[in-house]
Amino acid sequence: MGKWTVEEVARNAQGNLIGNSDLEVAGCIIDSRQAQGGEMFFALVGERVDGHDYMEAVWKKGAILVIAEEARFQGPEKTPFVPDGKALLLVKSVFATLQKLAQAWRLELGAKVVGITGSNGKTTTKDMIAVVLSQRFQVYHNKENHNNELGLPLTILNAPLGTEILVLEMGMRGLGEIRALCDIAKPDVGVITNIGTTHLELLKSQERIAQAKWELVEALPEDGIAIINAEDFFSVQKAKKDVHSIQFYGVEGNLVEPNTKGAKLRPWGALGTTFDVSYMGEKSTANLPLPGKHNVLDALAALTVGKVLGVSLAEGCAGLAKLELSKMRLEVRYGIFGTTLINDVYNANPISMQASLQVLKERAGGNKTLAILGEMYELGTSAESGHREVGETLAKLGVSELITVGKLAEEIAQGARLAGFSEEHITVTSIREEAVAKAKDLLNLHGPGIWVLIKGSRGMKMEEITVQLEESE
């Protein structure tokens, strides 16, 4: 954020201010270790850490304003000490104040807001949209996947003056959560990447997942624009009944003809993809530093957002070529024994895992392939079938070797068996160390040239396997 004074913060928050009121606030934090100077610190109470315990420390590190719960300082014996040149704002709820101030700063910025949600590809699509729009505008977006009730308002509050477009990823675990984020962000454009089975454990049905995701579109103003995946059945069905302006993107066009269409996908570099793109007669060619059709679809979503906000296809494609990839998402690394590793361990669900297996086979060409696959979480009643679908896809693609990690991942092995995959090429392990030992044996056996995919849900910490299989410098 930029030119708010402590007094203006207090006025927007409607709290009780103690200390210097004319200090200028520069940014906001919820972790005292991130203080560099000039910030306001929200003393949130977490499961293990209480921000109120770090008030003195964060002032010493340079923060100028602490926002704290007034209930902590009731009674004369609890009157807080505020150092010279610092300020303390006492409010009923720090959490509610964080969101309230984000609402106020979003309006003061006057920026356009693009909201992104979906079961897969949210963060990648957010990064792509940001780089496309940055070709013409001053853009600010969530760092990594700061997409929840804390991360989103923090992102807004840290957006500097002069920001023309805010690009905000929105995550959710249940009904009403996207709506609550939209109440803060007030999106003008809404992007839904797809509606899959992630969060099925919590929402019980794909229809309820669709309902939760569609809260983003429902929150758009009358003149808002929804950007929808033309190849996602549930999204297309929801779009048919929606009153907003809809822009579709896709490659196949089997469900509905896309406004933005990709064609002639071909490899580019180690893991990149070149494709042709058209939008209402305008044509260009994109060089995307990511593999697979699923990433091309995300790129088409970004190019569509660019078009509706005034960025040409040529400008958007130039931006995509400069995309900086997030860590642990389809990273290519050099492995031991002359092997190539695809480190795709940020997260996993059946759709993304099947897509990564396709990338593995596509990029390995005629070389042997090894998939080291961990458990996928939050699939609810679809846990068994979702894992088995991955194993079936692996068998159909003709991956050479499979190592599974964890109890749930045994169903991947079972799905592969049922699809005709040879038992002698399956290794089931319960812990990462077992998987590493078996992988080293296989890599030594097959020698240089084998390609290895490492993937699993974030909680599996599959990156620790990657580290053990990397070639030491």
Q: Which residues are annotated as a binding site for ATP?
A: 118-124
DSSP 377-425: -S-GGGHHHHHHHHHHHHHHHT-SEEEEESTTTHHHHHHHHHTT--GGG
Q: 3-state DSSP call for residue 195? A: coil
Burial class (CB in 10 A: 0-12, 13-18, 19+), 223: exposed
295 vs 352: CA distance, rounded Å: 10
Q: Which of 294, 393, 381 is nearest to 344 (CA)?
A: 294
The bridge status of strand 24-25 relative to strand 426-429 is: unpaired
Burial class (CB in 10 A: 0-12, 13-18, 19+), 468: middle
Task: Fill in the DSSP letter of residue 158.
Answer: H
The bridge status of strand 331-335 relative to strand 40-42 is: unpaired
202 vs 349: CA distance, rounded Å: 15
Q: Please say whether the beta carbons of 329 and 125 come within 8 A.
A: no
Q: Please say whether the beta carbons of 169 and 123 come within 8 A.
A: yes
Non-local CB neighbours of 422 within 8 Å, separated by 6+ positions = none
Residues in binding site: 118-124
Q: Taking the CA atoms of the chain, what radius of gyration do you get in angstroms?
A: 24
289 vs 146: CA distance, rounded Å: 23
DSSP 34-57: G--SS-EEE--B-SS-BGGGGHHH
